[in-house]
Amino acid sequence: MQNNFPIVVLLSGRGSNFQALTQRLSDAHICAVISDKPEAPGLEFARDHGIKTFAFDRQDFPTKIAQKEAIYSAVDSFKSKLIVLAGFMQIIEAPFVERNLGRILNIHPSLLPRHPGLHTHERALEAKDEEHGCTVHFVDAGVDTGPVVAQAATKIAPGESAEALAGRVLALEHDIYPWAVSNIARGEISILGREVSYSVRCRAEADGHGFRIGREACPQAAETNGA
Ligand code: GRF
């Protein structure tokens, strides 16, 4: 359904978070899916569901930065309210981040600031963490360092494999990402500078879902009540 909150999704691979967004978003709609990988299965799902897709293959550009600039121009052309990274396996250049501060969202498969970067499930097991999970955060110029929106956590079971843990965390991702994007679309979650604010209703919802927000998710976060 069309509404006032168009979002663009960027992905590089299977697109299960994108699929969850198509099924569970409210008060936002996906106006385009953009990829650096023409063969990404997520693009096929988008096409099958009548969502516009754009792929920018590295081999069609003289340099990687030229490819990225084409992706950024395509994203800009939609004038979306939010740019949602859903397994987009590229570093985003600082000038693009800076001109879109507070408008780029990512989901990361760990409880940040633990385990930024890759292979998070293996690293959580190696570190003998008691719990693991995922984090929705706004994107800044660093790698997985932007302001945290919400986290979903799970206890690591004794002897659990990285594959099993990854599957359980992915299911949490599919719950929390559409929830976070929908709440941003409704203005129940907002950001000013690096400070993320939540409405009373959103706080109650997060509690109901068992999601961590604000200081509970990120002890350094400032605590304010949004609208
Ligand atoms: C997810 O684990 C997400 O946390 C990370 O990339 C992966 C994407 O998976 N950013 P999918 O393509 O959404 O299935």
Q: Are residues 96 and 154 in the same domain?
A: no
Distance (Å) from CA 205 to ligand 1 centroid: 24
Q: Which atom of ligand 1 is nearest to the CA of 169?
A: 2
162 vs 120: CA distance, rounded Å? 9
Residue 61, classed as helix, strand or coil, is coil
Residues 135 and 207 in one domain: yes
Domain boundary among 38, 67, 100: 100
CATH number of residue 211's parent domain: 3.40.50.170
Mean residue pLDDT across the chain: 95
Q: Of 100, 131, 150, which residue sits at a domain end?
A: 100
Predicted confidence (pLDDT) per residue in 93-125, tens digit: 999 999 999 999 999 999 999 999 999 999 999
Q: Are residues 182 and 115 in the same domain?
A: yes
Instruction: Give the atom of ligand 1 at the shortest distance from the alpha carbon of 16.
Output: 14
Average pLDDT over residues 172-178: 98
Is 80 exceeded by the pLDDT of residue 227? no
Enzyme catalytic residues: 108
pLDDT at 225 over 60: no
Q: Identify whether residues 121 and 190 lie together within a single domain.
A: yes
**Nearest partner of 139 among 66, 86, 176, judged by Cα:** 86
Q: Is the Cβ–Cβ distance between 116 and 139 less than 8 Å?
A: no
Average of per-residue pLDDT across 34-56: 98
> What is the model's pLDDT at position 217?
86
Same domain (yes/no): 44, 131: no
Residue with the smallest CA separation from ligand 1 atom 7 is: 87
Say how far apart CA 196 and CA 189 lie, in whole Å: 7
Predicted pLDDT at 220: 64
2 lies in the same domain as 95? yes
d(CA 173, CA 183): 15
Ligand 1 binding pocket mutation candidate from 170, 175, 176, 177 (most atoms within 8 A of CB): 170
Indicate whether 162 and 65 sit together in one domain: no
The CA 129 to ligand 1 mean position distance, Å, reads 21
| 219 and 122 within one domain | yes
Round to whole Å and give the CA distance between 181 and 159: 34
**Does one domain contain both 47 and 27?**
yes
Domain of residue 20, residue span: 1-100
Instruction: Determine the pLDDT at residue 226.
Output: 42
Total count of domains within the chain: 2
One domain, residues 87 and 141: no
CB 140 within 8 A of CB 97: yes
Report residue 199's pLDDT band, with 50, 70 and 90 as the boundaries: very high
222 shares its domain with 114: yes
Ligand 1 center to residue 121 CA distance, Å? Answer: 12
| Token pair 């985003």 in the structure block, residue | 92
Residue nearest to atom 8 of ligand 1 (CA): 87
Give the ligand 1 atom nearest the CA of 86.
13
Last residue of a domain, which of 79, 100, 121? 100
Please state, in angstroms and rounded to a whole number, the distance separating the CA atoms of residues 96 and 155.
Answer: 36
